């Protein structure tokens, strides 16, 4: 590897893609200074159903599915010898959710991890990725949802407080396939997610949901990109965030690109932020680039607000105290998205964690 390439890959903070990220807190994962350990923390939880395989393959057997100009992804691809590959074979309908977990991490070194998820033609599955504990992790997750297939992906960042996590979550959605994701980020010191979708065939659709809740000192960034490069695809994005406490900082970027070929595109993206205390900062930047006028619809909305006094008054006028009223409003705010997970035990666990964070923040 030449020095030239390395320099090219190192962000300075002036690039559009890095202008919000506190580079100093990335543990050197972006500039080559991180100590990269040979760690494979992603594990399959439970037994594999018929038609489901999970194995570690040499990189030569798992070529990349997508281009990326992200500096960290570039370094992961340079470093990665192996790729964790999850495959759902064609026409397989997996009844129970497939659970992948990461918990064996370390703060002493970084893990650079490549993951591929292949949902083959007409297969259907729900995959839940549970991230817990403390670690430094850089991930390049590539997902292929093949023609007619359907995937629900739940990505849970329930990290402990010191974790640094940079991830690209790129999904290629083929003809008539559907992809739904629910990304939840409520733990970690710095989390930078790139949930991106690329439509590869007409009739494809995606619903991208997300929630994040940052308290004092936490930095959570979600930088979305939906690439409408084929005709008649549909995308919906709905991310909601709450912030409480000094120096809590969230960033949501919603880039949607409707290329000239993407006639019949239908897209809408929404980001709402709830500021629960002073000293927190929510950046929200929706961005629509349109190269054809022959579309069904394209829109976006972004709001950032505080507690609604009228809602709190209404609840309190029924005897509910201020702390409980706030908790109800925050739960209500997140419920719309959390309920999309469709797994009661997980939803309860996340809501409890949100309650805890809210109580700790004293908001």
Binding site for another protein (CB under 8 A): 309-311, 313-322, 324-325, 328-329, 331-336
Q: State how far Cα 358 lies from the chain centre.
A: 22
Give the burial class of 109: count Cβ atoms within 10 A of its Cβ; 0-12 exposed, 13-18 middle, 19 or more buried.
Answer: middle
The CB-of-315 to another protein minimum distance in angstroms stands at 7
Longest CA pairwise span in the chain (Å)? 68
Residue closer to another protein, measured from CB, 33 or 321: 321
Residue 166 or 182: which CB sits closer to another protein? 182
3-state secondary structure of 73: helix
Smallest separation (angstroms) from another protein to the CB of 324: 6
Residue among 99 and 351 whose Cβ is closer to another protein: 351
Comparing CB distances to another protein, the nearer of 170 and 240 is 240
Nearest approach, Cβ of 271 to another protein (angstroms)?
A: 16
Choose between 290 and 316: whose C-beta lies nearer to another protein: 316
Say if strands 98-102 and 42-45 run parallel, antiparallel, or are unpaired. Answer: antiparallel
Whole-angstrom Cα distance, residue 258 to residue 270?
Answer: 17
Q: Distance between CA atoms of 129 and 100, rounded to whole angstroms?
A: 5
CB of 341 to another protein, least distance (A): 14
For residue 337, the minimal CB distance to another protein (Å) is: 9
CB of 351 to another protein, least distance (A): 11
| Torsion of Cα atoms, 33 then 67 then 115 then 5, to 10° | -20
As a whole number of angstroms, the distance between CA 248 and CA 322 comes to 22
Please, what's the b/e burial string for 62-78 (b: 16 or more CB within 10 A of its CB; e: otherwise)? Answer: bebbbebebbbbbbbbe
Residue closer to another protein (CB basis): 161 or 321? 321
Supply the minimum distance, in Å, between the C-beta of residue 311 and another protein.
5
Please report how close the Cβ of residue 197 comes to another protein at its closest, in angstroms: 26
Angle between helices 344-361 and 322-338 (to 10 degrees): 140
Q: Which two tokens stand for residue 32?
A: 């080559």
Taking the complex as a whole, the smallest distance from the CB of residue 333 to another protein amounts, in Å, to 6
CB atoms within 10 A of CB 264: 16
Enumerate residues 6+ apart whose C-beta is below 8 A from 318.
Answer: none
Query: To the nearest whole angstrom, how small is the minimum distance from the Cβ of residue 188 to another protein?
Result: 25
- Sign of the alpha-carbon torsion through 341, 211, 199, 69: negative
294/336 with CB nearer another protein: 336
Which CB atom, from 287 or from 321, has the smaller least distance to another protein?
Answer: 321
Distance CA 79, CA 76 (A): 5
Which residue from 326, 292, 293, 321 is spatially nearest to 311, judged by alpha carbons? Answer: 326
With respect to another protein, which residue has the nearer C-beta, 49 or 316?
A: 316
Complex with another protein: residue 16 or 278, whichever CB lies closer: 278
CB 157 within 8 A of CB 133: no
**Vertex 112: Cα angle to 78 and 77 (nearest 5):** 25
């Amino acid at each position: 590897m030449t020095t030239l390439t390395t320099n090219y890959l190192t962000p300075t903070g002036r690039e559009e893609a890095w202008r919000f990220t506190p580079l100093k807190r990335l543990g050197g994962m972006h500039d080559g200074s991180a100590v990269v350990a040979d760690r494979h923390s992603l594990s399959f939880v439970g037994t594999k159903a018929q038609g489901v395989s999970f194995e570690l393959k040499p990189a030569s057997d798992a070529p990349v599915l997508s281009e990326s100009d992200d500096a960290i992804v570039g370094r992961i691809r340079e470093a990665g010898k192996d790729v964790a590959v999850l495959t759902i074979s064609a026409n397989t309908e997996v009844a129970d959710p497939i659970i992948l977990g990461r918990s064996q991490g370390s703060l002493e070194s970084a893990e650079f991890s490549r993951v591929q998820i292949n949902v083959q033609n007409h297969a259907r599955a729900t995959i839940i990725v549970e991230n817990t504990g403390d670690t430094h992790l850089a991930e390049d997750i590539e997902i292929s949802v093949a023609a007619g297939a359907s995937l629900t992906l739940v990505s849970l960042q329930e990290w402990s407080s010191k974790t640094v996590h940079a991830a690209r979550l790129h999904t290629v959605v083929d003809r008539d396939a559907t992809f739904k994701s629910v990304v939840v980020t409520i733990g970690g010191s710095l989390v930078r997610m790139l949930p991106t979708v690329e439509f590869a065939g007409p009739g494809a659709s995606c619903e991208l949901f997300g929630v994040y809740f940052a308290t004092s000192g936490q930095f959570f960034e979600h930088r979305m990109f939906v690439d409408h490069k084929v005709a008649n695809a549909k995308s919906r994005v709905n991310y909601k965030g709450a912030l409480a406490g000094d120096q809590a900082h969230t960033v949501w970027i919603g880039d949607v690109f409707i290329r000239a070929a993407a006639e019949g595109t239908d897209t809408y993206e929404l980001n709402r932020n709830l500021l629960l205390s002073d000293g927190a900062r929510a950046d929200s930047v929706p961005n629509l680039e349109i190269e054809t006028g022959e579309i069904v619809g394209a829109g976006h909305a972004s709001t950032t607000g505080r507690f609604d006094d009228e809602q709190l008054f209404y609840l309190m006028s029924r005897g509910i105290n201020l702390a409980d009223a706030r908790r109800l409003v925050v739960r209500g705010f997140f419920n719309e998205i959390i309920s999309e997970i469709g797994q009661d035990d997980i939803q309860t666990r996340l809501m409890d964690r949100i309650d805890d964070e809210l109580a700790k923040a004293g908001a």
